[in-house]
Amino acid sequence: MSVHSHRYDMVVIGSGPGGEGAAMQASKMAKTVAVVEQSKQIGGGCTHRGTIPSKALRHAIFQMTSMMNNKLFRDNFASANLSFPELRRSAAAVIEKQVDMRVGFYERNDVDLYHGHARFLNAQTVEVCSADGGRRELTADVFIIASGSRPFRPPNIDFRHPRVFDSDTVLDLSYTPRSVTLYGAGVIGCEYASMFRNLGAKVNLINTRQKLLEFLDDEIIDALSYHLRERGVLIRHGENFDHVEYADDGVVLHLASGKQIKTDILFWAAGRSGNTDEMRLPEIGLEPNNRGNLNVNPDFQTTLPHVYAVGDVIGVPALASAAYVQGRYAAQHAFEGAAERTLIHEIPSGIYTSPEISSLGKNERELTSAGVPYEVGHSIFRSLARAQITGQTVGMLKILFHRETLQLLGIHCFGANASEIIHIGQAIMAQPGEQNSLRYFVNATFNYPTMAEAYRVAALNGLNRLF
């Protein structure tokens, strides 16, 4: 069979947020670009197995539980208790729209799409093997590896068992389980613990560490733990699994501490692996680490300067938003030798538990250990008129600021729409010099009633702590 060869300025491996960011940036710079995608549809894990379907599912669960908990509707909508697959289907239309939109991006920007598996033949060439056996060789000056990640699967767990799931397979769950054990209390574990609990399942959240989401501010961690427990989630800290016992009607998780937990399903949410194992990276001198991730320098270059890696395949922060800007940065750096650092500076985290968490900048632990003289401004959501109207009163906004210059140092939000609220503070934190100041929130007029008004309340609260 003949092999077709094509030459490009840049070849991108993966069409998730990282690959898309890189391809769009290079295209805007009038470079010839090819994107290789292993799946039949573009969008990567973000669109098909991660961010988009899980957030669509979360919203569907929220809508159903809001209706069931509202006295105005409860009596008339007693049959609105939808099953997991019915709620999951709500994501299908969203995914389709996302795919169509992204195909349009590539078409309008003259980016060539190749469906198939990419593997390196040498440092300047990848071979794309399509499902029908076709082969193409793509040569380029620059490569961007944006191949993403997948759930880590320990060899001693049987993921073929119908009662064992991970974040990829749980979306195909064909019933609503009455009880769930989530092993791993990272972002994915906490998000799904919220979802399953809101569906009425008994939830065991097994944490291998001593605290939930240790990278967050301690007060936010405490608030999340309290809220999950108040909702009925059983959290067990400092546990490690020993083995799993399988049955037709459920799974028993045996922990190293001697505990045994039997539930309808086991959801394994402990870690992710970079998708690097079949690209023949060692052929070009690149060695992924034991989790399949690639090490990169601050400009996202691997040890081969013309081969970049972005997104989940390089590990933390493993956020769709971060992957996109990393892709843009890498493409700009590859062709101009430099890129705008603000692109990748201070990326907010968004965690879609119920309610949401979002944070930006430093937390109290970090500021205290660095000896920074900071102060705290608080706004408790139950005191805001908008929260009282919507009934979503759980949560708070917390601003950390320098007590002498009033410069914003960190913003931490727990509550409904936290991932949106954070961006108001982000805009002020990004201002140069004295324009980054708590005083902005004191002097600005906010619409009333809004959740954004929390910034004014928190700023005044913070100023009142100064003397």
Tell me the per-residue pLDDT of 21-55, one tens digit each, with 9 for 90 and over. 999 999 999 999 999 999 999 999 999 999 999 99
Q: What is the pLDDT of residues 318-358, one digit of tens each?
A: 999 999 999 999 999 999 999 988 888 889 999 999 999 99
DSSP sequence for 21-43: HHHHHHHHTT--EEEEESSSSSS
- Alpha carbon distances (Å) from 246 to 161, 205, 454: 8, 19, 49
pTM: 0.94
Listed range (6-10, 63-67, 175-179, 190-194) with the worst mean pLDDT: 63-67
Per-residue pLDDT band for 279 (boundaries 50, 70, 90) equals very high
Residue 167, number of CB atoms within 10 A of its CB:
22
Using one digit for the tens of pLDDT, what is the confidence trace for 69-109? 777 666 665 556 788 998 988 888 899 999 999 999 999 99
Query: Is 312 annotated among the ligand-binding residues?
Result: yes
pLDDT digits (tens, 9 = 90+) for 413-428: 999 999 999 999 999 9
Considering only CA atoms, which of 87, 250, 97, 266 is closest in space to residue 167?
Answer: 266
350 is in an annotated binding site: no
Query: Of 240, 230, 231, 168, whose CA–CA distance to 196 is shortest?
Result: 231
Cα dist. 379→358, 409, 424 in Å? Answer: 15, 17, 15
Domains, the chain, with CATH or none: 4-53+88-151+273-343 (3.50.50.60), 164-270 (3.50.50.60), 355-463 (3.30.390.30)
Q: Reply yes or no on whether the pLDDT at 152 is more than 70.
A: yes
C-alpha distances in angstroms, 269 versus 150, 156, 166, 183?
11, 15, 6, 6
In 3D space, the residue among 30, 24, 3 whose CA is nearest the CA of residue 102 turns out to be 24
Is 191 marked as a binding-site residue?
Answer: yes
What mean pLDDT comes out for the span 106-119? 95
Is 46 annotated to bind a ligand? Reply is no
**Does 258 belong to an annotated binding site?**
no
- DSSP strand E in 146-283: where? 149-151, 164-165, 179-183, 202-206, 234-236, 241-247, 250-255, 260-263, 265-268, 272-274
Residue 307 assigned ligand-binding role = no
Token output for 250: 């459920």
pLDDT at 36: 97
**Phi, psi (degrees; rounded to nearest 5) at 445:** -100, 125
* Confidence band of 63 (pLDDT split at 50, 70, 90): confident
pLDDT of residue 204: 98
Q: Is pLDDT at 384 greater than 80 in this prediction? A: yes
Stretch 109-138: mean pLDDT: 94
In the prediction, which pLDDT does 133 show? 82
- Does 71 appear as a known binding residue? no
Please provide the distance, in angstroms rounded to a whole number, between the alpha carbons at the two ends of the chain: 80
Of 291, 323, 324, 350, nearest in space to 151 by CA: 291
Task: Summarize the confidence of residues 374-393 as an average pLDDT.
Answer: 96
| Average pLDDT of span 121-131 | 94
On whether 189 is known to bind a ligand per the annotation, the reply is yes
Ligand-binding site membership of 271 (annotated): yes
> Is 188 annotated as belonging to a binding site?
yes
Residues 289-295, mean pLDDT to the nearest whole number: 94
